[in-house]
Homo-oligomer: A and B are copies of this chain.
Amino acid sequence: MEQLTCYDCGETFPFGDAARCRCGEPLWFETDAAGFDWRDASGATAGGVSLGRDTLWRYESVLPATVPDGLAAAAGGTPLFRAPSMESPDGPRVHLKVEGVNPTGSFKDRGTAVGISRLEGPVGTVSHGNMALSVAAHAAAVDREAIILVAEDTPDSRLAMIAQHDPHLFRVRGDYGRLYDDTLERDLGAAFLNSDAPLRVAGQKTVAYEICEAFAPDAPDAIVLPVSSGGQASGVWKALRELDAAGLLSAVPRIYLAQAARCDPIAQAYRRGASRVESVEGEPTAAVSINNADPPSGNRALAAVAETGGGVVSVAEEVMISERDRLAADAGVSVEPSCAVATAAVRELTASGEFGSDDDVAAILTGSGYKYGTSDTDISSVREVDRTDVPDAVREVVS
Contacts and interface: CB of A to CB of B under 8 A. Distances in A.
A52 interface: yes
A214 B103 CA distance: 19
A79 B77 contact: yes
A374 B77 contact: no
Contacts of A85: 70, 141-143
A246 interface: no
A261 to B, nearest CB: 23
Contacts of A139: 332
Contacts of A387: 172-176, 178-179, 182
A85 to B, nearest CB: 6
A367 B176 CA distance: 34
Nearest to A377: B160
Which of A49, A165, A182, A395 has the most B CB atoms < 10 Å from its CB? A49
A43 to B, nearest CB: 7
A166 B370 contact: no
Nearest to A188: B394
Contacts of A104: 332, 334, 370
Nearest to A369: B164
Given A69-B83, A81-B69, A103-B333, A399 B210 contact: no
A163 interface: yes
A373 B370 contact: no
Contacts of A161: 334, 370, 373-374, 377
Chain A interface helix/strand/loop/mixed? mixed
A49 B382 contact: no
Interface stretch (A9-17, A303-311, A323-331): A323-331
Interface stretch (A19-27, A94-102, A221-229, A339-347): A94-102
17 contacts: A46-B82, A49-B80, A49-B82, A52-B211, A69-B81, A70-B331, A74-B101, A137-B333, A140-B330, A140-B332, A161-B373, A168-B394, A168-B397, A173-B384, A173-B385, A182-B387, A186-B391
Interface of A: 43, 46-47, 49-55, 69-71, 73-74, 77-85, 93, 95, 97-98, 101-105, 121-122, 124, 136-143, 145, 147, 149, 152, 156-157, 159-161, 163-166, 168-176, 178-179, 182, 186, 188-190, 210-211, 213-215, 325, 328-334, 360, 368-371, 373-375, 377-379, 381-388, 390-391, 393-395, 397-399
